[in-house]
A and B are shown apart, each in its own frame.
Chain A
Amino acid sequence: MCLAIPALVKSIDGSVAEVEIGGVSRRASLLLTPEAMVGDYVLLHTGYAINVVNQEEAEETLRILEEMAQGAADEEEA
């Protein structure tokens, strides 16, 4: 019910954006995320962008998880 998927903002016309999800284009309302810009990813929920995906945070999370995976493997070998 609270499903939201990351969608790429391709173009913006007023409060409506053309977004792309897995190669499929659709219209999305930006009423809840007026700060969204072309090139951003937004979390799309029932036709509305509910948040802009923070790409730096996503990369940082993955970096931490990669370090953890490496650390856990090293510890096992030790």
Chain B
Amino acid sequence: MKFVDEFRRSELARGLIRSIQQHSTKRVRLMEFCGGHTVAIMKHGIRQLLPATIEMLSGPGCPVCVTDNADIDKAIALARIPGVILATFGDMIRVPGSRSSLQEVKADGSDVRIVYSTLDALQIARENPSRSVIFLGIGFETTAPTVAASVIQAEQEGMRNYYVISLHKLCPPVIKELLDSGEVKVSGLICPGHVSAIVGSRSWEFIARDYGIPCVVSGFEPLDILQCVYMLVLQIEQAESKVEIAYRRGVRPEGNQRALELMYQVFEPCSARWRGMGLVPDSGLRLSKAYQRFDAELAFEFDPGPAFEPKGCICGEVLRAVKTPRDCKLFGTVCTPASPVGPCMVSSEGSCAAYYIYGAAGE
């Protein structure tokens, strides 16, 4: 596949690894924020390719994993309302809430449908005018504009039966929260590639400036990640902290202005709960006043009941990068991808799933 295969060339990877080895003298801790990067790093065995001076940490960048149990419970309660069709990305279907999952309520007779795109959710709403279609909106800045586009489309068509639960999250505020907590010390940040495609690499400048942490935006192929690590190592060795892009084919400093305009036309920032981190100011998105009639939480009466966390699961600490999946007593015994206890084992981009599937190769 063009723009994928070229960035997997082994001879170029060897060159990058040699260059990293030649330049890396200081001990560094690099954190990848994005779950897509976590998977790529584990899958391609990038950790073992790097010199002992480089330690890699996984951050909280998996929208499925960071969704709070109380929010999953809300989606489940809405799905149970007679006449409702709940449309969701496949990633969310198996994630356990406090008492059940969307998969379980589907098995109990609720109409829960997996869609690839909000375009499919709109089509379901068109085909079922007498039913209410609720789209479970999760994801970061990459996904939120696509959900905003669907709301604008629904309004243009005069649809009265399309709603959204907005559990969208914003990345810069949570990285700030993580750094302010002082729990995790990082010397360089591997910034998310497709979030940056929307928000622009400039969104990370506050990290380089206020925290003195070098930032490099990375793509998702092995060469992208190795180039990103190389650029971070160079910055650290030269005692610099700036924002650079190792994914120039996909990311511009200013991002995608059109996508941001649509996102902020439909949504406005609000506080949001992150698993393991609690309430983070201005890190969520709710429907703005002009589009409130599409807000499922306002349109329906429902009772999700009290939320609680599964016993023994340390997903919250894994997401904060203070523990690794291997520190969890449930990992690989009680909690596996086949019968997951916590979301980091459910999600294909969760750290626990990545450690379980690629464990021996990835560490």
A interface with B by C-beta (< 8 Å) = 1-6, 8, 21-22, 29, 31-34, 41, 43, 45-48, 50-51, 53-55, 57-58, 60-62, 65-66, 68-73, 75-76
Contacts and interface: CB of A to CB of B under 8 A. Distances in A.
A1 B140 CA distance: 8
A19 to B, nearest CB: 12
Contact of A57 (B11, B34, B193, B249): B249
A51 B250 contact: yes
A55 B64 CA distance: 32
Chain B binding surface SS class: helix
B142 interface: yes
B6 A50 contact: no
Contact of A62 (B6, B91, B220): B6
Interface residues on B, range: 35 or more
A47 B4 contact: no
A31 B149 contact: yes
Given A6-B1, A45-B194, A54 B248 contact: yes
B256 A54 contact: no
B1 A21 contact: yes
B58 to A, nearest CB: 14
Nearest to A69: B15
A29 B121 CA distance: 14
Contact of B139 (A2, A8, A72, A73): A2
Given A46-B143, A48-B145, A68-B16, 12 more contacts: A29-B119, A46-B117, A46-B118, A47-B119, A50-B198, A58-B248, A60-B248, A62-B12, A68-B15, A68-B19, A72-B22, A73-B18
